[in-house]
């Protein structure tokens, strides 16, 4: 925290995600990120098509946007052993969204930032390992 001229506390926001803009179609980006996640030991547990869901539930149009629930089983197991309620923050969400002009954004949650809200030092090492793997995914795209 820092102070401004009025001596009021200002909270600095932390970037809670890792991301990259890709010069490829939405479908190609889904394929690319899924393949890179596999290389780092992640599987996709869930896939939420936000565009279709919003159309079906609210009859509104929305850009192409998918939420992929990615899980690395060995690391998830370690995290669950260290913190019984960590399942509230699993799986690691990765989004793919159409940003226009033939480009897509792929973004992954930063697990290290998420784990800072939990008072359990055993999670730090695990969060760093997951963060490294997700950074590898984003960098490889």
Q: Could you read off the pLDDT of 21-80 as tens digits, one per residue?
A: 999 999 999 999 999 999 999 999 999 999 999 999 999 999 999 999 999 999 999 999
Residue ranges and CATH numbers for the domains of the chain are 15-140 (3.30.310.70)
pTM listed for this prediction:
0.87
d(C-alpha 120, C-alpha 30), whole Å: 34
Residue 76 CA to residue 114 CA, distance in Å, equals 14
Rounded CA-CA distance 8/126 in Å is: 36
Contact yes or no for 135/42 (Cβ under 8 A) = no
Cα distance between residue 24 and residue 106, in whole Å: 11
- Tell me the three state secondary structure of residue 3: strand
pLDDT band at 14 (very low <50, low <70, confident <90, very high): low
């Amino acid at each position: 925290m820092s102070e401004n001229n009025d001596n009021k506390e200002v909270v600095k926001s932390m970037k809670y995600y890792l991301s990259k803009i890709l010069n490829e179609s939405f479908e190609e980006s889904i394929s690319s990120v899924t393949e890179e996640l596999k290389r780092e030991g992640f599987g996709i547990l869930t896939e939420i098509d936000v565009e279709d869901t919003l159309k079906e539930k609210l009859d509104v149009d929305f850009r192409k946007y998918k939420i992929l629930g990615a899980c690395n089983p060995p690391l998830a197991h370690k995290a669950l052993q260290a913190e019984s309620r960590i399942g509230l923050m699993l799986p690691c969400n990765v989004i793919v969204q159409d940003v226009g002009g033939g480009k897509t954004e792929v973004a992954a949650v930063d697990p290290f930032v998420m784990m800072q809200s939990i008072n359990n030092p055993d999670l730090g090492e695990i969060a760093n390992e997951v963060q490294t793997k997700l950074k590898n995914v984003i960098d490889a795209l």
